[in-house]
Amino acid sequence: MVAGKLIIISSPSGGGKGTLIKEVRGLLPDLGYSCSHTTRPKRFGEEEGREYYFISPDEFERRIEAGEFLEYANVHGNYYGTSLAESRKVFNTGRDLIVEVDVQGALQIMDKPEIEPISIFILPPSFEVLRARLTARATEDADELRTRLRNSFNEVMQYSKFDYVIVNEDLSTATRQMASIIIASRQQRDRQESAVRGILDSFDASRHLFEGE
């Protein structure tokens, strides 16, 4: 079985990574996904176990102590983390795992040399577009909106730590770009070794007789 890759998707809040991931999962249904844990309050329309597992700060800290997170971070005043157990469940099936994390979480994963992730940074076309998108979705109060916009200045500067950058101007273009990166990564030579070995075995000249030789 070919080992799955961890695919990190990161961007400032409002960069559109959640929507992009949903679209890409529609195109690549075998892509594994791990639902994150958070201590932020549930938004209208969100469901436990779909957008997030919503847990208390005490419970989150207990899980940090117990080493239950692949990565976690305090983002805009709330904890967010990727469960190690959920990630392992996907990897045990040999599938790729896509995770949506803030920049701090992305850097934590990149610091683990054994993981060798593929990292993709999503940039909004401009600060004005980011502000317009965050304002239009109206999920934060004025203070939270300001915090997210203020944090975006430092977050965009981290693009240089990522393998790939996608400018999310047009959803269908950005979706195709993200899916292309994932599909191409599956053909990397080191991920094809076991398939190649089986084929090369059939090219064993001593097993084949050629007429006239």
Can you give the binding site for ligand 5GP, defined by CB under 6 A? 13, 17, 36, 40, 71, 73, 75, 80-82, 100-102, 104-105
**Closest CB 33 distance from ligand 5GP, rounded Å:** 11
Alpha-carbon span 112 to 185, nearest angstrom: 19
**Closest CB 13 distance from ligand 5GP, rounded Å:** 5
Alpha-carbon span 108 to 77, nearest angstrom: 18
Helices (H), 31-159: 57-65, 84-91, 103-110, 127-137, 142-157
Alpha-carbon span 213 to 208, nearest angstrom: 11
105 vs 124 by CB, closer to ligand 5GP: 105
**Closest CB 206 distance from ligand 5GP, rounded Å:** 54
**Closest CB 32 distance from ligand 5GP, rounded Å:** 14
DSSP state of 3: P
Q: Which residue is nearest to ligand 5GP (CB)?
A: 105
85 vs 195 by CB, closer to ligand 5GP: 85
Residue 55: is it exposed, middle or buried by C-beta count within 10 angstroms (0-12/13-18/19+)?
A: middle
53 vs 181 by CB, closer to ligand 5GP: 53
